[in-house]
Amino acid sequence: MGVSSVSSVVDTLRLTAEEAAGLVERKEVTGAELHRAYLDAAAERDPELHCYLRLVDEPNGDGVPVALKDVISTHGIETTAGSKILAGYVPQFDSTVAARCKAAGLPIIGKTNTDEFAMGSSTENSAYGPTRNPWDPERVPGGSGGGSAAAVSAGLAPWALGSDTGGSIKQPSALCGNVGLRPTYGTVSRYGIVAFASSLDQVGPVAKNVRDCALLYSLIAGRDERDSTTVELPEPVRLPEGEDLSGLRIGVPKELNEAEGIEPGVTTAVQNAIELARSLGAEVGECELPRSVEYGLACYYLIAPAEASSNLARYDGVRYGLRVDGESYREMVERTRDVGFGDEPKRRIMLGTYALSAGYFDAFYGQAQKVRTVIAREHAAAFERFDVLVSPTSPTVAFKLGEKAANPLAMYLSDLLTIPSCMAGLPGLNVPCGLSEGLPVGLQLIGPQFSENTLFRTGHALEQAIGFDPVPERLR
């Protein structure tokens, strides 16, 4: 079967991973042809979008290809985490999630762009240049996992894995109009994930719809003996079906829905989705998360940089990655880190080092950990009354490149709504719920620990009812 006839079967913009798997199963295409179709799409559209840092020409499996964010270690494939300091670093081992994808027969199609060390909300902090939003190339795809989200939206990958510390899966999915899951902390192995903030980092799927998202999650989740913080799933992942939401109790946290800076178009789309949920049988009520929203962001910007300052200490030029020589060991380390790290990692290393310093620890890191407990309790209290909490994922639709690049605080506010549940270790799902100014709006569904099946059920029902078209208008 020639390439042209494959392209007629495989419309990578529309094809879901589940459909693609069906094509392969029915032998309508081979895995290699499927892989080629996505490479062809990348050849056509990635020069403009820059979703990929590198592509893999030869598939290493017969299944549906998967794109991996470049913080995910891949044996034999350069893994840079979007940083110059890891330029040329080729892992000698697979991360557990990469190994599980391979074991499930999913060939890796490429490594996607990310803010350096996953630090950012626009993918503009990548040392290898920004990724552009497939809905409007003048705009950012969100971040840090903008590469994975944009690749899925632009049909350059059927699905992808990202990593989420404070919103790096959910927020780009919202801005690119696809479905992204940040799983419950501890359900997906972090082994082989270039660490940003260990107590927050979680790998999760990005897909065109909720069923694909659930399917990919089922392939990567579960206890890994190489990651002591992982647990076995209490129940198997169920692929969602149907539109009925009767019996489901949906809470609308006031602070997450009325926060300053939420665009009116975003509020409208989210409210419409909530009304749809009610019409599908869900009970909807208001609730409050006052301290989670008031302190979540500040708390996050103590804990995440503190852990990052320690996690990034290993990039010293001694064993791998960049080395800039110096007259002494200390000078070599200083030069390597000065040249190798961009501004955002440097900023967070300084913040984190300060927060952990003798005399400041109790007031900053110690206090932030206490607040984190308060945030977890506040969420737990809300889940006594509700099964799912909803809010916008991002206060805004995709913003323009450069718009917030010079103002780190404005950029940090992009994660205002995603951070509180991350701090509590809770799962969160982004489902597209409409357009505002021609750009996708994301609905955030938050559940208690291990409630992924409930999130999938809710997300799938809403997705069916909303009928959002995930293909960017300019590519249709």
Q: Specify the residue, 217 or 364, whose C-beta has the smaller distance to other proteins.
A: 364
What is the nearest approach in angstroms of other proteins to the Cβ of residue 448?
20
For the chain, the residue count is 476
Amino acid sitting at position 211:
R
H or E, element range at 251: strand 249-253
Q: Which helix (H) or strand (E) holds 356?
A: helix 343-356
Q: Output the DSSP codes for 371-434.
A: HHHHHHHHHHHHHHH-SEEEEESSSSSPPBTTTTTT-HHHHHGGGTTTHHHHHTT--EEEEEEE
CB of 92 to other proteins, least distance (A): 7
Name the residue among 356, 341, 344, 346 with its Cα closest to residue 303: 356
**35 vs 182, beta carbon nearer other proteins:** 182
434 Rama class: left (phi>0) / alpha (psi -120 to 50) / beta: left
Q: Which residues are catalytic?
A: 69, 144, 168
Residue nearer to other proteins on the CB measure, 224 or 452: 224
> In the 8-state DSSP scheme, what is residue 289?
-
Shortest gap between Cβ of 120 and other proteins (angstroms)? Answer: 18
3-state SS, residue 97: helix
Query: Measured from the CB atom, is 294 or 450 closer to other proteins?
Result: 450
112, 152 contact by CB (below 8 A): no
**Residue 185 in contact with residue 208, Cβ under 8 Å?**
no
Cβ-based nearer residue to other proteins, 318 or 475: 318
Q: How far is the CB of 46 from other proteins (least distance, A)?
A: 25
Amino acid at 297: L
Q: If we measure between CA atoms, which residue out of 60, 68, 65 comes closest to residue 37? A: 65
As measured in angstroms, the least distance from the Cβ of 73 to other proteins is 5
DSSP string, 149-207: HHHHHTTS-SEEEEEESSSTTHHHHHHHT-EEEEPPTTSB--TTBPPS-TTT-EEEEEE
**CB of 85 vs other proteins, minimal distance in Å:** 10
Q: Which of 245, 226, 222 is nearest to 235 (CA)?
A: 222
Please give the Cα distance from 206 to 66 (Å, whole number).
Answer: 10
Nearer to other proteins, 194 or 233 (CB): 194
Residue closer to other proteins, measured from CB, 16 or 80: 80
Where along the sequence are the contacts to other proteins (CB under 8 A)?
A: 71-73, 79, 81, 86, 89, 91-93, 95, 190-195, 197-199, 225-229, 306-307, 309-310, 312-314, 316, 318-320, 328-330, 333, 353, 356-358, 361, 365
Q: Minimum CB separation from other proteins for residue 320, in Å? A: 7
Q: What does the DSSP 8-state code read for residue 144?
A: S
